[in-house]
Amino acid sequence: MQEGSLSLTPSFRIFYLRLLGFCFLYFSSVAGTQAECPVQLSQQRVVVRYNGSVAVNCNTSITHKGMGWEASEGAVPMTRDKMITWRVSHLTEWDIEPFCFINHEEQCQVQLLVTIYKTPDSVSISIVDHSGPMIEGQQYKLQCDVHDVAPVQNLTVKWYKGQTLLDKTTFTEDSKTPLNETATLLIRPDRADDGAQYSCAAELELGAEGPQPPPNKTSESLSFTVYFKPIIDENKLPSIVPVFRGYPEVLVCEAEGNPKPTISWILGTNVIVYNETLTISESTPEHVYCIADNSAGRTTRQVNVSIQDISISTVSHTGPMIAGEWYELQCFIQNVVFKIVDVRWYKLNQINVTETIKTPANLTYKVRIRPDRADDGAQFWCEAKLEAKGPQRYSTMSSDHLSITVHSKPIIDENKLPSIVPVFRGNPEVLVCEAEGNPKPTISWILGTNVIVYNETLTISESTPEHVYCVANNSVGRTTRQVNVSIQDISISTVSHTGPMIAGEWYELQCFIQNVVFKIVDVRWYKLNQINVTETIKTPANLTYKVRIRPDRADDGAQFWCEAKLEAKGPQRYSTMSSDHLSITVHFKPIIDENKLPSIVPVFRGYPEVLVCEAEGNPKPTISWILGTNVIVYNESLTISESTPEHVYCVANNSVGRTTRQVNVSIQDISISTVSHTGPMIAGEWYELQCFIQNVVFKIVDVRWYKLNQINVTETIKTPANLTYKVRIRPDRADDGAQFWCEAKLEAKGPQRYSTMSSDHLSITVNSKPIIDENKLPSIVPVFRGYPEVLVCEAEGNPKPTISWILGTNVIVYNESLTISESTPEHVYCVANNSAGRTTRQVNVSIQVKPIINENKLPSIVPVFRGYPEVLVCEAEGNPKPTISWILGTNVIVYNETLTISESTPEHVYCVANNSAGRTTRQVNVVLKEDYLPLIAGLIAVTVVFISVIFIFIYSIYYKTAKMGRYSLKDAKPSAQNENIAQNGKHSPIPMKKLSQSDILA
């Protein structure tokens, strides 16, 4: 950098003025007496925010010769008023010491204590010399950095964890200007601190005169992870675990730690299992160890495995037991390390067999049982309740299950094998003999003297002996049951009729019963899916029973039969015998389906309809159609149109009869048209459509208007009073080519209650005013000098629009495109025109101009004094508005219109103004100047101090040799005084500086 010449800076001027003021005040304080000063301040101390305002009153109650405020900011000249105010709008002097002085008998002063404070720019918290997770129990240091705060001696840093105050840090530095301070806090985190939020707050405690509450600024929260050694859950993993032979146990080892611990088990010397659970059995070593391990440490828990044993057995008996006999069971317990509280006996599906044995004196327990046949396969076991130490106070050990086999004598099921069984001729019966016993019984039948059949079932018929016997036998015993066989006979038939029946005619059925050994309680007649046909016949006097029936079409294929209820002796008191089923055929006259063939059918011109005639009958009917006098069509369906006769007839015929149905054919017509208009329509105008309906034989329920892809155009017209219906439409450009039609909903009689007839579709043409495509023609178009642009104007309308351009007053160009340049007028207009209207769009032509930097505001050479930064301002004009940046050295770029430079700035900096039209650069040379003012100020200060010492020395000698007099300028005669003497005729001359006339107070 280049070195410059000496210049007088504002800071030196302030220093010089303060030095002169200090000397003056010092001499005044030495010369005056130290009596109490008769002035009062409205505030003895003030606290002011930096750059804030302050006002303090100084008043007196005595007559004086002048009072004022002396201060480096806001000084108040000497005045004769009794109250004066020191006021500063923006106080920025950190070490200001204002005082109010008064000239009474002598001059005195009272100083105002001023504290200027500034809240910190930022407060941040961090960990010192550490990163990553912390370890529980270790010591760490937190640091709180407070930037640019004053005064430091009033600063308190408070430390928080969450909302809890942990500690406070204060500072002793006696500095009035802002400083950067750092506070530290030692912490020893535990597992509860994992994820905890730490913060620090900087608070200025400025006393009662300061703002309340005190100014405070808090850092962002600091959260960290705390790693801690695993802790194994002893509630889930007891120290002693009993294991019963044959019943493995699962140990669960859960541990809490951070990071999450890994769990492993040590069994014996070399076996390690990596899992949270471990299955143990009687083969497991006596001691196993759960190890929970993570990066913070390792925890081990020993588990002692106690093998338990309990067994159940019979006493003095082996093999199956006999139902009803007494037997004894015993429970033997060994290797029990815990106290036995009680022993219980259990049988499957029962709580216990006998009473509980409390606190037994020995380890063998017995119980007597008397099994029955229900106990076959039952399982017995015993359980011992043990009292152990630990969270799970009680544990239970169970013996294996003892399954017993119980043998019992056979019992024949009498419900399945009655004592009397009726058998109808030609209908064999199967007898089933089932018996329950253990071992499983063998079944045999005895028929007569010598016939024995070994089987559970026996088929009997009219040839079977009157008495048969079922024998059930096993190793425990034998059971026999006698069965009496009773031969029965019953039949059903029609009386005086064969072949098909005719629906609606009367017929007679008879039921014949013979060889009945039991009393007949009643006889009932049945038809398939019905309980009975006629009333029940109670206690008949003979064995032939009749009933009259009148079948209908639903009875075709129905089955009839009769049943006789017999009263017998034995557990099954009543038995029933049924006849064979009698199936009948019923013929009936055809019935035409009127739901599928209405009496009136509308036919629209040009739209044939198909009539379907379906009829039900037995035998199946033949279908034919009669049209006019001589035309007969043999088919179930008939196609009709406007040429079909007004009346047609469907005829259904079979051997039972003939059925005819008349159908009336109604020709319909409907049309749509515009009212008082032909040709294309104009978008946005109103038009009227009409719907004309004629030859309608049904009631018109409503008329609806439709447009393609829409439900309807206007509201529905309900129950119209005439046959011409109108609707008003207002088409838009989207309706060009749209199709309109009307539909009439008709109410007819019959199963298809409603029918609809539609008009032909009416297609309309809609002319619309042009719409210019604004996406392809923006409102503002930039143009660079020497680079023409082409504008394209496209418009949509019907008929297709013609495009033209207007440039200035008289120039019109007929084309869809227009080439523009810097000579083009600022505003051009695209005009789209057709028979429906005209549309105009204005385009603003924006000429692009390369930036021009203002060299008046940015000189090419800028001097910089050490310690006094300068601000450079770079302004540039251009279209569009340029962006400003600065280039310092090789890689440093600053994006701003201003740049602050100092002695550390490179010798050459560049301002760059850039826009879409180009780029402009201006170089600025930075020249470094040296400042000699501090050296000169030091010399002046030494000289003033030297003179002050000499003055004090001379003054002290004079004060000792002569009494100090009091002098006044009142009635002074300036013309009689010489240049260096002031006197009043009473005392000796004293050295004084001559005062001018204007300095004499009245």
Residue-wise pLDDT for 72-110, tens only, equals 999 999 999 999 999 999 999 999 999 999 998 889 999
Q: CATH no. for residue 801?
A: 2.60.40.10
Let me know whether 108 and 70 are in one domain.
Answer: yes
Q: Is the pTM of this model over 0.75?
A: no
Owner of token pair 């930039």 = 782
Let me know whether 760 and 788 are in one domain.
Answer: no
Q: How many domains does the chain have?
A: 11
User: What is the rounded CA–CA span in Å between residue 673 and residue 655?
Assistant: 57
Contact in structure between 324 and 370 (CB atoms under 8 Å): yes
Tokens representing residue 496 in the block: 């005086």
Let me know whether 530 and 603 are in one domain.
Answer: no
Please report whether residue 707 resides in a domain.
Answer: yes
Q: To which H or E segment does residue 947 belong?
A: helix 933-961
pLDDT digits (tens, 9 = 90+) for 148-194: 999 999 999 999 999 999 999 999 888 889 999 999 999 999 988 89
User: What is the rounded CA–CA span in Å between residue 857 and residue 861?
Assistant: 12
Let me know whether 921 and 961 are in one domain.
Answer: no
Please report whether residue 688 resides in a domain.
Answer: yes
Q: What pLDDT, on the 0 to 100 scale, is given for residue 778?
A: 93
Query: Residue 911's closest CA among 935, 960, 876?
Result: 876
Q: Which residues contact 286 (CB under 8 A, 6 or more apart)?
A: 304, 305
Let me know whether 618 and 528 are in one domain.
Answer: no
Let me know whether 835 and 892 are in one domain.
Answer: no
Amino acid at the residue 154 = N
Let me know whether 824 and 861 are in one domain.
Answer: no
Let me know whether 398 and 452 are in one domain.
Answer: no
Average pLDDT of adjacent 10-residue blocks, the chain of 1002 residues = 40 46 43 66 94 94 92 91 93 93 91 94 94 92 95 95 93 91 94 92 92 93 93 91 81 93 91 92 90 93 85 87 89 72 76 49 78 88 74 72 90 90 79 92 90 91 88 91 83 85 89 72 75 49 77 88 74 72 90 90 80 92 90 90 88 91 83 87 90 74 76 51 79 88 75 73 90 91 86 92 89 89 89 92 88 90 88 90 90 89 89 90 88 79 90 78 45 46 43 42 38
Let me know whether 213 and 233 are in one domain.
Answer: no
Q: Which of 74, 89, 117 is the last residue of a domain?
A: 117
Let me know whether 844 and 886 are in one domain.
Answer: no
Contact in structure between 111 and 99 (CB atoms under 8 Å): yes
Q: Which residues contact 460 (CB under 8 A, 6 or more apart)?
A: 421, 423, 428, 429, 430, 431, 468, 485
Query: Residue 434's closest CA among 450, 453, 418, 413?
Result: 413
Contact in structure between 846 and 879 (CB atoms under 8 Å): yes
Please report whether residue 21 resides in a domain.
Answer: no
Q: Is the dihedral of CA 488, 494, 498, 504 positive or negative?
A: negative
Please report whether residue 20 resides in a domain.
Answer: no
Let me know whether 130 and 148 are in one domain.
Answer: yes
**Residue 945 φ then ψ, to 5°:** -65, -40
Strands 297-314 and 240-244: parallel
Query: Residue 585's closest CA among 491, 492, 494?
Result: 494
Please report whether residue 14 resides in a domain.
Answer: no
DSSP secondary structure, 809-869, as one string: TTEEE-SSEEEE-TTS-SEEEEEEEETTEEEEEEEEEEEEEEEEE-TTTS-SEEEEETTB-
Please report whether residue 281 resides in a domain.
Answer: yes
Q: Which of 188, 204, 224 is the last residue of a domain?
A: 224
Please report whether residue 67 resides in a domain.
Answer: yes
Q: Which of 665, 683, 700 is the last residue of a domain?
A: 665
Range of the domain at 715: 667-767
* Helix, strand, coil percentages for the chain (3-state, nearest 5): 5, 50, 40
Contact in structure between 502 and 534 (CB atoms under 8 Å): no
Let me know whether 569 and 606 are in one domain.
Answer: no
